[in-house]
Amino acid sequence: MLTTKHAPFIEEARNRHELFITQPYEQYSEENHEAWRRLYARMQPEWSRYANRWFLEGLTALALDPDRVPRLESVNQILRPLTGFRAIAVSGYVPAYLFFDCLRRREFPTTITIRPLDSLDYLPEPDIFHDIAGHVPMHTSREFAEVLVRFGQCAHSAAVIVNGIADQRVRLERLTSIYKALARFFWFTVEFGLMQTGEELKAYGSGLLSSHGELRHSVESRLVQRSSIALDWVIHQSFEIDHYQPLLFYVQSFDHLFSLVDQLERWMRFGRLDSVAPGEPEVSPEDLASFLASDTLVA
Ligand SMILES: [Fe+2]
């Protein structure tokens, strides 16, 4: 059984401090496959109406089995030749720098557990449905893949900048602010981004694409404020993870998104991310430490 919060294999890996693992495919129970089947089936009509076209093309290309939890190996056989990206199995939370650095190397840390059948709707932590059905189809798009790599490079630049600061207090203050800015940008784009092309508004953010209720809500609900993305808004904008997002930003294209990541890095170099507005997300000591570890600077 590889159910979120009930997976002995994962517990054992964590006890051994193994973050990167292999997917023990035979351990998925029939209940796990049934959870995948239901999640996938109910998303299909939502995707066809609200997902951006690169996601839909990605779904077709990956040809995921609607009835069975996917094998990462099979997904990667299709994915790698397209953009160089591959999904790598992890046993749990990947500290921030390590996560972004994986993107830089075209690796996507992927949760392999799946939510229990009795809580298909809401899960605070990622599972394989969010990671494979929500994120990975986007990784088949060359333009989007370049955005992720660029974002990983941006995190690398952040590590180089803060590790060059001698005063420990200043270093931690700057890192905390820069990290908040990066995390907010990632949240409002890769996880909850919308794209406006002509009259059409579609979702490309994976938090939306893996949520049965929120995908439609994000595009259609009057309760959502939707705004053209502006970097000096996003980096100061806090967010909460436990309810539908009341504020979303749209980009015009992935080229547009790529240029924003460039801008983010320039602002970081000029010190414009050094004192962003307080508020969510919380920055954990583990996340901060991941940027400060000595092996962070290995190219
Ligand atoms: Fe995600």
Give yes or no for a contact between 206 and 259, defined as CB atoms under 8 angstroms apart. Answer: no
Q: Which of 46, 107, 130, 206 is catalytic?
A: 130
Does any domain span residue 1? no
Q: Which of 135, 156, 211, 218 is catalytic?
A: 135
Cα(117) to ligand 1 centroid in Å equals 20
User: What is the average pLDDT across 2-11?
Assistant: 93
Whether 210 is a known active-site residue: answer yes
pLDDT digits (tens, 9 = 90+) for 237-271: 999 988 999 999 999 999 999 999 999 999 999 99
Task: Return the closest-CA partner of residue 230 out of 185, 293, 164, 295.
Answer: 185
The amino acid at residue 13 is A
Cα(163) to ligand 1 centroid in Å equals 27
Query: What local confidence, expressed as pLDDT, does residue 122 receive?
Result: 75
CA 140 to chain centre: 15
Cα(93) to ligand 1 centroid in Å equals 11
pLDDT digits (tens, 9 = 90+) for 122-159: 777 899 999 999 999 999 999 999 999 999 999 999 99
Does any domain span residue 287? yes
Q: Is the dihedral of CA 286, 289, 290, 295 positive or negative?
A: negative
Cα–Cα distance measured from residue 185 to residue 200, given in angstroms and rounded to the nearest whole number: 23
Which domain CATH number covers 83? 1.10.800.10
Cα(137) to ligand 1 centroid in Å equals 12
pLDDT of 299 over the 60 cut: no
Give yes or no for a contact between 68 and 130, defined as CB atoms under 8 angstroms apart. Answer: no
Q: How large a percentage of the chain has pLDDT more than 70?
A: 98
User: What is the average pLDDT across 230-242?
Assistant: 95
Does any domain span residue 148? yes
Cα–Cα distance measured from residue 215 to residue 192, given in angstroms and rounded to the nearest whole number: 9
Whether 217 is a known active-site residue: answer no
Cα(111) to ligand 1 centroid in Å equals 10
Cα(10) to ligand 1 centroid in Å equals 19
Query: What local confidence, expressed as pLDDT, does residue 295 receive?
Result: 57
Q: Looking up tokens 């749990």, which residue turns up? A: 92
Cα(245) to ligand 1 centroid in Å equals 14
User: What is the average pLDDT across 37-54?
Assistant: 98
Cα(187) to ligand 1 centroid in Å equals 9
Whether 191 is a known active-site residue: answer yes
* Buried residues in 257-273 as b, exposed as e (16+ CB within 10 A): bbebbeebbebbeeebb
User: What is the average pLDDT across 205-218?
Assistant: 97
Query: What local confidence, expressed as pLDDT, does residue 293 receive?
Result: 76
Cα–Cα distance measured from residue 54 to residue 141, given in angstroms and rounded to the nearest whole number: 6
Q: Looking up tokens 């921030």, which residue turns up? A: 96
Mean pLDDT of all residues belonging to the chain:
95
Cα–Cα distance measured from residue 112 to residue 100, given in angstroms and rounded to the nearest whole number: 19
Does any domain span residue 106? yes
Q: Which of 141, 210, 211, 218 is catalytic?
A: 210
Does any domain span residue 186? yes
Range of the domain at 235: 8-297
Cα(169) to ligand 1 centroid in Å equals 31
Cα–Cα distance measured from residue 267 to residue 202, given in angstroms and rounded to the nearest whole number: 28
Number of structural domains found in the chain: 1
Question: Residues with Cβ < 8 Å from 291, sequence gap 6 or more?
Answer: 96, 97, 155, 158, 159, 162, 163, 175, 179
What pTM value is reported for the model? 0.96
Does any domain span residue 2? no
Give yes or no for a contact between 64 and 56, defined as CB atoms under 8 angstroms apart. Answer: no
User: What is the average pLDDT across 197-203?
Assistant: 94
Cα(222) to ligand 1 centroid in Å equals 25
Cα(151) to ligand 1 centroid in Å equals 14
pLDDT digits (tens, 9 = 90+) for 279-291: 999 999 999 999 9
User: What is the average pLDDT across 183-192?
Assistant: 98
Q: Which of 191, 214, 265, 290 is catalytic?
A: 191
Does any domain span residue 59? yes
Does any domain span residue 163? yes
Asked whether the bond before 281 is cis by omega within 30 degrees of 0, the reply is yes
